[in-house]
Amino acid sequence: MIMGISFRSCINLLSEQFVKSILPFVTYRCLVLVLCATFALSLGLAGCKFNKAHQSDARPDDTVVTESVSDSNDVPPPEPTVSRFDAITSAKAPAPATKYRAGEDPEFATRSGWPVHSPPSLPGAILPGKRIVAYYGNPLSKRMGALGEYQKDEMLRRLKEEAGRWEKADPAITVQPALHLIAVVAQGEPGKSGKYRMVMPDDVVNQVHGWAREAKALMFIDIQTGHEDIRTLLPRFEWILKNPDVHLGIDPEFNLVKSGAKPGTRIGTYDAADINYVTGYLSNLVKTHNLPPKVLTVHRFTRNGVTNARNISLRPEVQVVMHMDGWGAPPLKRDSYEDYIVSEPVQYAGFKLFYHNDTKKGDPLMTPREVLKLNPKPLYIQYQ
């Protein structure tokens, strides 16, 4: 039915005579064709109405639902389709880039030249097979570092605990404890020598050496030259450096020969030529006395603290550690490590932690796990 009248009724109502009377200019055949087209259009509209009603039942989540329809004229259900929101590729989205803090980025370390190509290790070499954890100071002063802040037994107990924390943080590498004695202390006055430095008596050096052996630790002799040239001061300690368990540290901060300034008023410096003299001296000592390689630590926390660092010569008999010894909040320490250690590779890296200076403004002392995020990982750790 269309509008309540069947197609056959429409034909009967329109006799040939009636049509000719009202539409003389239209042939009977044309009118019949028009009526047929009208009927077909009505069926098409009805079909559209059916389709819209069926689509209105579709689920909003693009799930295709098939419903049973009893009418024999039902249209077949649409074929399943893939939702436009579904992934059509197995490729994974790229992982977000890792954000590193200063001194921690391994790619930056690689671009800077780490790891450094070093001479082949000789028998008895400590690095890189072990990590040295040292207490620094002087037994005659409680203000110069942990070595003198506590009585011997308490100090050695604390050092052992620190070594244990480092072994726990990085079980892959053995920890070697050490005592780092300031054997020559820079002075604010010239003293009898006029050199603005004080050399510790031999009995103090021997005393600390005995403590180190008791704890199965290494010993480091640290030299603050003041106004004396390292070339005249270093041979003064050959007697103790001939021991296989005794090593050396030099401190550019207190080498003020060139500037002539009083220690504590300006920061001193060493050039690569000075450091090469020291490594040459130690190399000859090792060869002469058939010793295992010596470790040399060079303190550094400023750009000019070591000049021409890339001209430092490496020798099989000496393992050079550039040791970041600036104090402050963790971000400042990481910045200094990146600027003065990572950016100018020499051989091995060191890092200093100050129990008091690092924390006096409320900042936490960096933990072993935090320090081990640095790249390269420091192999010499010093506590003051």
pLDDT digits (tens, 9 = 90+) for 304-346: 999 999 999 999 999 999 999 999 999 999 999 999 999 999 9
Quick: pLDDT tens for 187-222: 999 999 999 999 999 999 999 999 999 999 999 999
Peptide bond into 171 cis (omega under 30): no
Arithmetic mean of pLDDT, 172-200:
97
Q: In terms of domains, do 50 and 166 share one?
A: no
Report whether pLDDT(169) > 70: yes
Confidence of residue 257 (pLDDT cuts 50, 70, 90): very high
Q: In terms of domains, do 362 and 274 share one?
A: yes
Residue with tokens 């000049």: 307
Output the pLDDT for position 174: 98
Report whether pLDDT(246) > 50: yes
The answer to whether position 128 is within a domain reads yes
User: Are 135 and 180 within 8 A, CB to CB?
Assistant: yes
What is the DSSP code (8-state) at residue 319? E
Report whether pLDDT(127) > 60: yes
Task: Name the region of 206 (left: φ>0; alpha: ψ -120 to 50; beta: rest).
Answer: alpha
Quick: pLDDT tens for 351-364: 999 999 999 999 99
Output the pLDDT for position 93: 61
* Residue of 176, 330, 185 whose CA lies nearest to 251: 185
Q: In terms of domains, do 174 and 254 share one?
A: yes
The answer to whether position 101 is within a domain reads no
Q: Which domain holds residue 28?
A: 1-78
Quick: pLDDT tens for 21-67: 444 444 444 444 444 444 443 434 344 333 333 333 333 333 333 33
Output the pLDDT for position 61: 36
Q: In terms of domains, do 36 and 170 share one?
A: no
Arithmetic mean of pLDDT, 7-29:
41
Q: Distances from the Cα of 126 to the Cαs of 42, 45, 298, 342, in angstroms? A: 97, 92, 17, 21
Q: How far apart are CA 242 and CA 285, in angstroms?
A: 7
Q: Collect all residues with Cβ–Cβ distance below 8 Å to 244 and sequence separation of at least 6.
A: 124, 291, 292
Output the pLDDT for position 97: 78
CATH for 259: 3.20.20
- The structure's pTM equals 0.75
Report whether pLDDT(283) > 60: yes
The answer to whether position 143 is within a domain reads yes
Domain boundary among 30, 62, 78: 78
What is the DSSP code (8-state) at residue 201? P
Q: In terms of domains, do 184 and 270 share one?
A: yes
The answer to whether position 84 is within a domain reads no
Output the pLDDT for position 303: 92
Report whether pLDDT(368) > 60: yes
| Assigned token pair, 67 | 């419903």
Total structural domains in the chain?
2
Confidence of residue 262 (pLDDT cuts 50, 70, 90): very high
Output the pLDDT for position 94: 67
Output the pLDDT for position 95: 67
- Which one has a higher pLDDT value, 366 or 85? 366
Residue with tokens 């200094």: 336
Q: In terms of domains, do 43 and 161 share one?
A: no
Q: In terms of domains, do 65 and 169 share one?
A: no
With pLDDT > 90 as the criterion, what percentage of the chain qualifies? 74
